[in-house]
Amino acid sequence: MTRTRFLAALVMAPVAIAAILLLPTEWMMALAAVLFLAGLWEWFDLAEIDDTLARTVLLVANLGVMVAIVWASRWSAGFTLVLFKLASVIGVIWWLLALLWLGRYKFASDHDTHARVFKLAAGALAVIPAWCALAWIHAEEPNGHRWLLTALAIVWAADTGAYFAGRKFGGRVFGSRKLAPLVSPNKTIEGLVGGVVAGIVVGMAFSQFAGAPPSQLPAVALVALAAVLFSVVGDLFESLLKRHAGVKDSGDLIPGHGGILDRIDGVLAALPVFALGKALLGF
Tens of pLDDT, residue by residue over 190-202, are 999 999 999 999 9
Q: Provide the CB-side half-sphere exposure for 77 (13 A, CA).
A: 2
Confidence category of residue 253, pLDDT binned at 50, 70, 90: low
Residue 175, pLDDT score: 77
Provide mean pLDDT across the span 179-188: 89
Nearest CA among 136, 96, 83 for reference residue 269: 96
Confidence category of residue 106, pLDDT binned at 50, 70, 90: confident
E strand map for the chain: 74-75, 78-79, 178-180, 184-188
Confidence category of residue 248, pLDDT binned at 50, 70, 90: confident
Look up residue 107 and give its DSSP letter. Answer: T
Instruction: Quickly list H helices, 112-143.
Output: 113-139
Residue 171, pLDDT score: 76
Give the distance, in angstroms, between the CA of residue 36 and the centroid of all CA atoms in the same chain. Answer: 10
Q: Which residues, listed in sequence order, are joined to residue 78 by a DSSP beta bridge?
A: 75
If one counts every other C-beta atom within 10 angstroms of the C-beta of residue 102, the result is 17
pLDDT of 206 strictly over 80: yes
* Rg of the chain (C-alpha set): 18
Confidence category of residue 105, pLDDT binned at 50, 70, 90: confident
Residue 6, pLDDT score: 66
Between CA 114 and CA 120 the distance in angstroms is 10
CA distances from 232 to 29, 81, 156, 266 (A): 24, 27, 12, 6
